[in-house]
Structure 1
Amino acid sequence: MRWRDALHQPDVTLWVTVLAVSGSAPREPGARMAVQPDACFDTIGGGHLEFQAIAHARALLQQGVTRHIERFALGASLGQCCGGVVWLLFERWDAAQCAQMQQALRGEHTVCRLQALHADATGAAWGEVASLRPQLPTALHTALDQADAPRCQWLQQGEQQWLLERFPACDFRIELFGAGHVARALLPLLASLPCTVHWVDSREEMLPADVPDNVQTEWLDLPEQRVAEAAPGSFYLVMTHSHAEDQRLVEHILRRGDAAYCGLIGSRSKRQQFRQRLRRRGVSELQWQALTCPIGVAGIRSKQPAAIAIAVAAELLQRHEARQLQQQGRVQAQA
């Protein structure tokens, strides 16, 4: 389970965040887990470091400590060979902070969290970068202005220190059409990724009532209506129970022409049939080339829903990360 799944239980939870890293370490700054007296959510890298962090967090919970920073050397004492150093932040959040975090994780717009870490610090401030500027010394304003700033920064000046976290607007938006076996196997994988999922089916009874926080379900008699409403640069997965419905969806997506990915479940034979039909309906060859079918990373031949789901999730990650690198290259070129 993810650390965000504990946000509805602030009274019994302590959050552990990788604040900074020197040298080699299992997770990056910003990685987080939630620790409760009898449960843990997510991971900061596993191994003896995580074992020690969990024990430390539970001790702090018993003591009622609100905030604490601890340094861990990943050497012989922890039985790990990474050789680096990790600083972990242990903190309690009240219900208001948890609500702010839930809002930030929805990814509707970019927001930052600025948490003072010195002894007399109070709760975190939330907002856009510009609104947080007055709360930092002038010498640290450059950290707010970095175009390629890391998601998590540990800022220090003298005895004062802050955690600055950025929660960017979500650019990994998945439009999932169909609620069959593969879609249901795929959903738990997507739930654990930094994405949002809009899950559509024309059969109301197929959509479960209980879904992860980053998933929204919608029943539509004509699922292609959702294509018109989706954000530019969305990742589309078409895997409905009907070839006719699949074809209508693919046609609408290709005609839009702004998909980051358009994947259709099926064989090469299905791809060829759709190509002939859609070309007759006026879909150009250039538009057609945007379709991926079959879907999933190469080398996985199993037809089991779970295996297909893993292959598809891996392909989505590949496409998303390639797109991020491309966008970062554009930003650097313009700088």
Structure 2
Amino acid sequence: MLDIAEELHRWVEQGRDFAVATVVAVSGSAPRGPGAALAVDSEGAVIGSVSGGCVEGAVYELCQQALADGESAPALERFGYSDEDAFAVGLTCGGIIDILVTPVRASAPDREVYASALSAAAGGEAAAVARVVSGPGELLGRALLVRSEGSSGTSSTSGSYEGGFGAHPELDRTVAAEAGAFLDAGRTGTLEIGEQGSRCGAPLTILVESSVPPPRMLVFGAIDFASALVRIGKFLGYHVTVCDARPVFATAARFPDADEVVVDWPHRYLERTPVDARTVLCVLTHDAKFDVPLLRLALRLPVAYVGAMGSRRTHLDRNARLREVGVTELELARLHSPIGLDLGARTPEETALSIASEIVANRRGGSGVSLTGAHTPIHHDVPSTVPEPEPEPEPAGRIGSVA
């Protein structure tokens, strides 16, 4: 739901009734993961996607039916591929997905929680919404919003929360803490918990959707290759910063697509700017006076990726210089150098694609080899909680409904 927060927030502000279908869990090969959403309003307008096209039509009908029924209870639907009827509604890629369809009317008791969650996500605020996916009927669809530290709301061990499930008081506190942990990691997935906030009571499945600010891409070196990398970084959803010590090159006019352009020595800027486990650093200066102090610091930071441009000769010389200033072999092993995958790239745009491909492969656990002839999974993400597919699924594409 939060992946289409900007559009849904507008619907809330306009007072529209709508139903939102959210991917809860996936098994096998599926186009989209938990948290992917499609929403339909009372006029039939649709936004978002849950499968890249495989089951969109059927999900659209489910959303319309949820609004027409006049009931507020959500429904859990499972979609899968049928070998007996390849044209049945299902995932032709062979996967199975569970989708929660939730009507959100203007009069719904949880409307305010959803509105707050959508407002936070649309505004770039770090927040997570937890919803009951399965369990006692009276709790289905109930929601709780967790914000980061410093936001308003009821205090919890991981920040603050709004709303609640209206069950055992310990349940809200436990879910808020668990959702806070998901939020800290920027994760979306499910968790199992007892109705009383522990292993006691009826088991509940909770979907936690996290919305966090875009990850950062720091590009050091205001060269023509950097301009192409900035554009592809923005396309991938990064907040992109270009940094160079030379003011004649580091200008907004040369990098109009960058979120910010900084004139400073790279290592000095890195010392004072915030980074986290999702941050990627691309060092394109290939000049020892910039590279060595910068990489000495970068390789000791808890960031997702550090890559440095240069020939293999430059790489060997740079590694020797880094060892001289105390960089360990373990730290050097984190360095992607020469930067990028072997695509045979020559132009700045091709080189940017090579670098971006390596960043994606590093993030998702891909090998970087051609999928043609390979026997590796297409999607490498490991879902948080995924039910095993039934050994003998029903022949129909829509495997079943749990209301």
Q: Check whether TM > 0.5.
A: yes
Is structure 2 residue 129 aligned with structure 1 residue 113? Answer: yes
- SS of 1:296's partner is coil
- Sort the Cα spacing of 1:234 and 1:60 in 2 relative to 1 into closer, same or farther, 3 A: closer
Give the alignment partner of residue 242 of structure 2, picking from 190, 200, 210: 200
Contact kept, 8 Å, 2:233 with 2:240, in 1: the verdict is no
- Sort the Cα spacing of 1:134 and 1:7 in 2 relative to 1 into closer, same or farther, 3 A: closer
Is structure 2 residue 322 aligned with structure 1 residue 316? Answer: no
User: Any idea what the Cα deviations from partners look like across 1:93-152, whole Å, max 9, x if unmatched?
Assistant: 66433123346x655xxx542346767989732225777788544796898487999723
Structure 1 or 2: larger helix share? Answer: 1
Shift of 1:263: 0.6
* Amino-acid identity (%): 20
- SS of 2:58's partner is helix
Shift of 1:162: 7.2
Give the alignment partner of residue 96 of structure 1, picking from 85, 101, 116: 116
User: Any idea what the Cα deviations from partners look like across 1:225-280, whole Å, max 9, x if unmatched?
Assistant: 3210233656443355x544x85155223245235432112322332454466667
User: Any idea what the Cα deviations from partners look like across 1:166-218, whole Å, max 9, x if unmatched?
Assistant: 53878965433356333134214431xxxx64513342313437x7xxxx535
Q: TM-score, normalised by structure 1?
A: 0.64
State the match for 1:271 in structure 2.
315
- SS of 1:29's partner is coil
Tell me which amino acid in the other structure corresponds to 1:125: L
State the match for 1:126 in structure 2.
145
The alignment's C-alpha RMSD in Å is 4.9
Tell me which amino acid in the other structure corresponds to 1:204: T
Shift of 1:156: 8.8
Q: TM-score, normalised by structure 2?
A: 0.56
Contact kept, 8 Å, 2:265 with 2:290, in 1: the verdict is no
- Sort the Cα spacing of 1:120 and 1:275 in 2 relative to 1 into closer, same or farther, 3 A: closer
Shift of 1:78: 0.5
Tell me which amino acid in the other structure corresponds to 1:96: S
Is structure 2 residue 338 aligned with structure 1 residue 294? Answer: yes
State the match for 2:10 in structure 1.
9
Give the alignment partner of residue 30 of structure 1, picking from 32, 35, 46: 35
Contact kept, 8 Å, 2:139 with 2:165, in 1: the verdict is no
- SS of 2:54's partner is helix
User: Any idea what the Cα deviations from partners look like across 1:30-64, whole Å, max 9, x if unmatched?
Assistant: 333455756633x3222431232235446767999
State the match for 2:228 in structure 1.
182
- Sort the Cα spacing of 1:83 and 1:173 in 2 relative to 1 into closer, same or farther, 3 A: closer
- Sort the Cα spacing of 1:300 and 1:247 in 2 relative to 1 into closer, same or farther, 3 A: farther
State the match for 2:23 in structure 1.
18
Tell which has more relative contact order, 1 or 2 (C-alpha 8 A, sep 6+): 2
Shift of 1:69: 2.3
Which consecutive unaligned segments of at least 5 residues does structure 1 have?
329-335
State the match for 1:152 in structure 2.
190
| Partners of 1:276 and 1:155 in 2: CA distance | 52
Tell me which amino acid in the other structure corresponds to 1:126: L
Tell me which amino acid in the other structure corresponds to 1:294: P
Which consecutive unaligned segments of at least 5 residues does structure 2 have?
105-110, 147-155, 196-200, 245-249, 366-380, 385-403
State the match for 2:98 in structure 1.
86
Is structure 2 residue 281 aligned with structure 1 residue 237? Answer: yes
- SS of 2:241's partner is strand
| Partners of 2:320 and 2:140 in 1: CA distance | 65
